[in-house]
Structure 1
Amino acid sequence: MDSIEALIGKNIDEVSLIESKTFFIAPLKYSTKVCGKRYPSDKLKISDLDYFNMISFSQLFKKEALLIIWHDETGIITDLEIYYLSNDFDILFQDYYIIKKAIDDGQAHKLREGDTRYLGASRLSEKVPQPNSIKLANKRELVLKKRYLQKIINEIKI
Structure 2
Amino acid sequence: MDSFEALVGKNINDVVLDVSATFFIAPLEYFYKNCGRRYPASKFRMADLDYFDLIDFTDLFRFEQILIIWHDETGLITDLELYYLSNDFDVLFADYYYIKKAIDNGEAHKLREGDTKYLGASRLPDKVPQPNSDKLANRRELVLKKKYLQKMLNEMDLKRRF
Instruction: Give the C-alpha shift of residue 21 in structure 1.
Output: 4.0
* Cα deviation, residue 155, structure 1: 1.1
Residue 81 of structure 2: SS of its match in structure 1? strand
1:63 corresponds to: 63
5+ residue gaps, structure 2 = none
Alignment of 1:41-60 (within 5 A): 41-60=41-60
The offset of 1:60, in angstroms, is 0.7
Give the TM-score normalised by the residue count of structure 1.
0.97
Q: Distance in 1 between matches of 2:21 and 2:11?
A: 24
Letter of the 1:73 counterpart? E
What is the one-letter code of the residue matched to 1:2?
D
Q: Which residue identity does 2:67 align to in structure 1?
A: L
Match of 1:29 in 2: 29
Letter in 2 for 1:84: Y
1:12 and 2:39 are equivalent in the alignment? no
Query: What residue number does 1:150 align with?
Result: 150
Fraction of identical pairs, as percent: 71
The worse-fitting range, judged by mean Cα deviation, of 17-26 and 126-135 is 17-26
Counterparts of 1:95 and 1:60 in 2: how far apart (Å)? 13
Letter in 2 for 1:41: A
Structure 1: which 5+ runs fail to align? none
Q: Distance in 1 between matches of 2:19 and 2:127?
A: 29
What is the alpha-carbon root mean square deviation over aligned residues?
1.0
Q: What is the CA distance between 1:54 and its match in structure 2? A: 0.3
After TM superposition, the score normalised by the length of structure 2 is 0.94
Distance in 1 separating the partners of 2:37 and 2:108: 36
Q: Specify the code of the residue in structure 2 equivalent to 1:153.
A: L
* C-alpha deviation, 1:18, in angstroms: 2.5
